[in-house]
Structure 1
Amino acid sequence: MHIHDHPVFGERLREPVTFFFEGKPYQAYKGESIASALMANGIKKLGLSRKLVQPRGLFCSRGRCCSCYMTVNGEDHVRTCMKEVEDGMEIFTNSEDPDVRG
């Protein structure tokens, strides 16, 4: 859900873009973070915790935690709260830990 006409800030939405999450198309606005674009489209589960295997969602929204890590355009463990959504971007949840020994 986006706020289209804010009582204080007015009209703040920019041009629309289409991104793909788990292969399905969604709409966002240029300048939004990936995490906020997902939240605006009703997607709150960003992955699973490593130890307890429980749903992970947006936590700090400023790049300090690891709750919003996802695979973006083939790059694993991208902090989606810190990266802007782009037209045609492909986003997937991380299914496993990165291969750091590769």
Structure 2
Amino acid sequence: MSLFEHLKLIEDPRSHINLNHDLVDIIFLVLAAIASGCDGWQAIEEFGQENLSWLRKHRDFDNGIPTRHSIARIIKVIDTEILVMTLFSWANRLREASTKPLIAIDGKTLR
């Protein structure tokens, strides 16, 4: 399963009237922005605006990038435990596919 297929398993807690932006799009935006060094909601929004064409290579982003207030509000209502377990599950699938016993994220296996 891809990252996006894993993220689709997260329940969207928003009401039907607040679904202008796809939940998977928003989570992907936040993950990509954080991986790129962004450290706040405004920085995440700016990252999205500056990299929208790249983001659209991976997801639709039909309604563009949400405001920083919307991003924060949406991320804050997601069950953190489920998000973390989803990301762990995805990383574990990658590990299994590579037939490695573990994934070293600190670079020690490179030495």
Query: Shorter-chain TM-score category?
Result: under 0.3
Query: If the length of structure 2 is used for normalisation, what is the TM-score?
Result: 0.24
Query: If the length of structure 1 is used for normalisation, what is the TM-score?
Result: 0.25
Higher Rg: 2
Between Structure 1 and Structure 2, the one with more helix by share is 2
Between Structure 1 and Structure 2, the one with more strand by share is 1
